[in-house]
Structure 1
Amino acid sequence: MSPDIANFIGKKISRFLGSDQTTGPESLGSFMRLRIGIDVTKPLPQVVKIRIVLGDEQIVTFTYEWLPNFCYLCGRNGHISNWCETRFQLEFVDLGDSSPYGLWLRAVGRADSRTRFPQTTFNPA
């Protein structure tokens, strides 16, 4: 996929910060690695619908690298399901197969993203 498509998808989610340098028409596979800035107080995006120039609507699904302390109950970073405010507000929570967030959100078998995306200092101002 092209850098323009990466930019377009990244901006649909949030703030596009870059894409993997090996992402492009010559790369193999059905995935594209993006670096985006997200609001960690909100649930992580799972899918986005896009339409590319008079084409059919496509659904793009996401997996995430480096998800520390991710809550599979509310979809937010910073705590785990055992300590989720949502859990304490409900009498009984059965995550089962009906949870909108699952282990499928975690990317596995990918190269170390720290080597592909150099660390930068982010200033939200």
Structure 2
Amino acid sequence: MCKPYNRKAAKNTLRKAWGLDKELQISEVDSNLFQFKFQSDYELERILKGGLWTFDNQLLMLTRWRIGISANNVVLEHASLWVQIWGVLFDMMSPTVTMKIGKKMGVVEDVERRRRTDDQNLFLWVRVALLISKPLRRGGFLLGLDGRRHWVDYKYERLPLFCHYCGILGHDIRHCPPHFDASK
């Protein structure tokens, strides 16, 4: 986080948002690094798959505990974001096409599938894991399938704090190292 925050409020807000008032242990193991202990694998999976989680518009990055992990070696390098893809031709709207588009952006984690076939979707919906060290893609791109090329736009859902100067998640323009270097 690039600004101070109330740790107690953050913990209480997350417990309430996750519906785990008493069942969740939260320990601060380093500066801005917390360990969450869930009572069941079901709750852990529900929270991991239910993100993007934020507090005060700051991204909360989660990773599953693995043998050998500690506060000194934990690696948090991907953020999972839902992305809407607009402008896809109606005859190209399918989970397969959504997967191909998502792979251009990052690692595809999930593809929204329509529950009702009588309603036409206006956009495709994909969840992708994006490297937080790289700028977010902006705007759109040319989609080429079956020998046809067509421009599509995309929109990130529930986008947390990110820098409009460098495009990287986790800070704003006031805290952007490249912005300060360029202004000298």
2:133–2:168 contact (8 Å) kept in structure 1: yes
The equivalent position to 1:48 in structure 2, one of 141, 146, 153, is 141
Tell me how far 1:6 sits from its aligned partner. 0.4
Normalising by the residue count of structure 1, what TM-score does the alignment of the two structures yield?
0.63
Is residue 89 of structure 1 aligned with residue 181 of structure 2? yes
Aligned counterpart for 1:32 among listed residues 110, 124, 129: 124
Q: How many residues align?
A: 91
State the AA in 1 paired with 2:178.
T
CA distance in 1 between partners of 2:115 and 2:127 (Å):
12
Of 47, 72, 76, the match for 2:168: 76
Specify the SS of the correspondent of 1:79.
coil
- Displacement after TM superposition at 1:8 (Å): 0.8
Equivalent residues of 1:7, 1:16 under 8 A apart: yes
Q: Quote the Cα distance in structure 1 between the aligned partners of 2:118 and 2:172.
A: 39
Following TM superposition, where does structure 1 have runs of at least 4 consecutive aligned residues deviating by more than 6 angstroms? none
The root-mean-square deviation of aligned C-alpha atoms, in Å, is 2.2
> Which runs of no fewer than 5 residues in structure 1 stay unpaired?
93-125
Cα distance in 1 for partners of 2:130, 2:124 equals 17
2:103 is matched with 11
For the residue of structure 2 that corresponds to 1:21, the secondary structure is coil
Deviations 1:17-61 (A, max 9, x none): 112232886443531111011111101112232211011x12222
Between the aligned partners of 2:137 and 2:107, the Cα distance in structure 1 is 13
Q: Rg: which structure is higher?
A: 2
How many angstroms apart in 1 are the aligned matches of 2:182 and 2:120? 45
TM-score by length of 2: 0.44
Instruction: Tell me the amino acid that sits aligned with residue 141 of structure 2.
Output: V
Specify the alignment match of 2:88 in structure 1. none
**Cα deviations by residue, 1:74-94 (Å, 9 ceiling, x for unpaired):** 1110101111112211228xx
> Is contact 1:23-1:33 (8 Å) kept?
no
Structure 2 unaligned residues grouped into runs of 5+: 1-92
Q: Which residue of 2 aligns with 1:22?
A: 114
